[in-house]
Chain A
Amino acid sequence: MTERPEDLARKGWMSLLAKAPPARLAALLPDLPETALLRPAEVGSVMVRGRVGGTGAPFNLGEMTVTRCSLRLACGAVGHAYVQGRDKDHARRAAVVDALMQTPEAARIEAQVLHPLRLEAETTRTTRAAKAAATKVEFFTMVRGEDQ
């Protein structure tokens, strides 16, 4: 599949919503508009693949739980979501956000929901990276007598 530039932004928010803590997303967007379900929230699995040697042929590593949902807002905008885990509310809410992002509400949703989620995800990531960095070994070589 090839990505069009306009798909990149949508890929970005859908990916962010997939990994968002469900309780946090619910707190940022407590009220949901009326929607028509196109595909009700469904818990399933996705086979995660790795590559032999990290770079070679694909192989099946094991599954992960994923919940998906597709719905339509009254205005006609269609939202899809695939989120990690088994929380159907998470999937519905993520699909609503995806749909709203295609409406004039986009700027409000970006500020109210996506921006805080993005900041929090970034903080989690950098904090973990900083803890890892603190365990990086700084080698120093002992001066040996014959090197003088």
Chain B
Amino acid sequence: MTAGAAPAVTLRGIVKQFPGVVANDHIDFEALQGEIHALLGENGAGKSTLSNIMTGLYRPDQGEIYVHGVPVAFHAPRDALAAGIGMVHQHFRLAASFTVAENFALGTHESRGVRLELGGIERRVSELAQRYRMPVNPRARIWQLSVGERQRVEILKALYRGARILILDEPTSLLTPQEADNLFATLRLMSAEGRTVIFISHKLEEVMAVSDRVTILRRGRSLGTVLTAATTPRELARLMVGRDVVFSLKPEGHTVGETVLLELRELYAESDLGTVALHGVNLQLHAGEILGIAGVAGNGQRELAEVITGMRPRVAGSVAVAGIPLRGADPRQAIDLGLAHVPEDRLGTGVAPSLTIADNLILKDYRRPPITTAGLIRYDRVRVRAGDLIERFDIKAVSPQTPTRLLSGGNVQKVLLARELSGSPRVLVAASPTRGLDVAATESVRSLLLQAAARGVGVLLISEDLDEILTLADRIAVLYEGRVMGVVDRAQADVEELGLMMAGSAR
């Protein structure tokens, strides 16, 4: 970034209200030409609303937008695009069965007559890809690409359409660390060319690593903009959540029991595509223990969680809870044996999204008294339970009758944990329990896991976040291509060695 650079986008006094919430409350924001500007805030701070306003998806109730000093009014994303603002959404907007080049052609009006001039597009895609070091085969179909590649396609698409200002909404949430580093390099290339990058994130490390300046949002308000070089992660965290965050939550002096609560023997399972996903997994989980399953996404973590909880049939091997063997593919038996499960897909699997919070809180024990007597659900008791758990687990909701899908990600996770932990489980299988959550919610989820372990619950913590595992787990098992590469005590854990195991180098 050059000092005294001209402003690229300026927002003044932006107000956007949704029923019951002021998502943006008089926000001022300015991103300069050629800078990487991070927009930092927790879930629900108003980051996405603000970026949707900048890209014409929403219209502000009040306030002005200037692009390169000229006032603009966007009515649709294509107006923003015409002004040079492109967006890469967290969830990609690509047609899966089309090729990369065909996706570039979508929504543009370049072809003459009925024939698509794909050859020209392919050439220009390749040029762009080379220039920004984002290798992509323009003839590949989207469904064949990895998540990281799809993101490259999205970024290239925005550049292809002439974006001088690029907004990325939590771009690293689905990427491996290596892919994230490549992305950062690309972003630096673009800013060096004078393009403006607005980078939405709630991860402090990456904001520190990649941005020139940071604007912090909290509860719909802007707390100001600081130079990244002149701040610290601790200060940013404090601004973001409004108080000091405890980063380490190491359980102190708690002892792991002797009893084996969960035992996996020679477990084999298939992925959805029919490939071998688990390859002879042996693990033991003790009472009061947090066993972390580390690994790069897609190495069998999902299948492991699903096989244990009965959501996926196993091909061979055995699963036993407190010594009692599980029949295959029977979630009900797993529940009855005290196996709690926080699934990766919270909204959709972990809760029924349109049902109320109260209804979702009985999802695991609706079948039994006291909730059901004589085939009738006792809604009086359901209400009492909901009120109690909402208070105990500090769930932020208008009422127990609110549809669960209207809650923020952190509160959905609290609903899930409230239900799973209040059922006094023996074992808790938690799959990526803090993914996508903001700092405060992450912290409360982690302390709930620690409390559960302290009460003697065996916790199987599956996470792609190695730091999280190092913070919480007593022992760490590394999963690579469906095999356990090794199990180490946290006390003896060496990050480098874990990294090697995650990359497939056997110990």
Do A and B interact with each other, yes or no?
A: no
B→A interface (CB under 8 Å): none
